[in-house]
């Protein structure tokens, strides 16, 4: 477990992954074959289904406490956040509305132009409302920075991010991610919405490949 301070100044404890050298469901226990993997190897299970469910409930309580009044709109950033998004919104014990965003950075060749285009721009009104953007994983944060700038131009009452995973890589984010599920190891992670070439999103756990 790690501790740091949230916006309120209170210490926030976050679970971290336990590194293992082989695929495991717990210390010293080999992971049984999973037919959802299609025979492809999984190095290890980083966060199992029960651990994720417990942390999602905690996040829902944190979010509930953080928004005692006002209109709350929760925006899921597709595709990676879809499973996490659907689980966490059901744990928030206050009125809210939901919508989705699809953002794309575009440019020429393999280089991003640094611009962000909203492939799907929600019709929902953003101005004057609390906006919570739900993301699957924060690594470089470049697309997220520009996406938040686009949303800020809609004049929300407040704007915050809830991320399932945070790699704690130095980024240019102007403010910390307010709600974080887990500190993530620097490995390629799949499952619970995260993919490799569109595979593995449906796994109920998060694993390293």
CA neighbours closer than 13 Å in the CB half-sphere of residue 173: 19
**How far is C-alpha 74 from the geometric centre of its chain's CA atoms?**
13
> Do 206 and 188 meet the contact criterion of CB atoms below 8 Å apart?
no
Nearest to 30 by CA among 39, 15, 16, 20: 20
C-beta atoms surrounding 98 within 10 Å: 16
> Do 97 and 76 meet the contact criterion of CB atoms below 8 Å apart?
no
DSSP-based three-state secondary structure for 191: strand
CA distances to 6, 56, 163, 198 from 10, in Å: 6, 19, 19, 38
Structural tokens at position 15: 């679970």
> Do 150 and 102 meet the contact criterion of CB atoms below 8 Å apart?
no
User: What are the φ and ψ backbone dihedral angles of 55, each rounded to 5 degrees?
Assistant: -70, -35
Please tell me which residue in 139, 183, 195, 199 is annotated as part of the active site: 139
Residue in the structure block whose two tokens are 């509930």: 64
Is 139 an active-site residue? yes
Structural tokens at position 188: 């390629």
Q: Which residues are catalytic?
A: 139
């Amino acid at each position: 477990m790690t501790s740091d301070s949230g916006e309120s100044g209170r210490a926030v404890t976050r679970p971290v992954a336990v590194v293992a050298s082989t695929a495991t469901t717990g210390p010293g226990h080999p992971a049984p074959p999973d037919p959802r993997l299609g025979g492809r190897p999984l190095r290890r299970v980083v966060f199992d289904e029960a651990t994720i469910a417990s942390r999602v409930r905690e996040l829902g309580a944190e979010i509930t406490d953080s928004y005692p009044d006002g209109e709350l709109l929760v925006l899921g950033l597709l595709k990676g956040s879809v499973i996490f998004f659907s689980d966490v919104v059901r744990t928030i014990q206050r009125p809210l509305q939901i919508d989705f965003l699809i953002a794309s950075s575009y440019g020429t060749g393999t280089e991003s132009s640094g611009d962000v285009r909203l492939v799907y721009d929600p019709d929902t009104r953003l101005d004057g409302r609390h906006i919570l953007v739900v993301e699957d994983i924060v690594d470089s944060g470049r697309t997220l920075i520009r996406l938040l700038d686009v949303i800020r131009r809609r004049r929300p009452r407040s704007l915050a991010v809830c991320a399932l995973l945070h790699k704690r890589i130095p980024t240019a984010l102007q403010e910390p991610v307010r709600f974080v599920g887990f500190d993530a190891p620097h490995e390629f992670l799949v499952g619970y919405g995260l993919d490799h070439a569109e595979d593995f999103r449906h796994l109920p756990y998060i694993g390293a490949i």
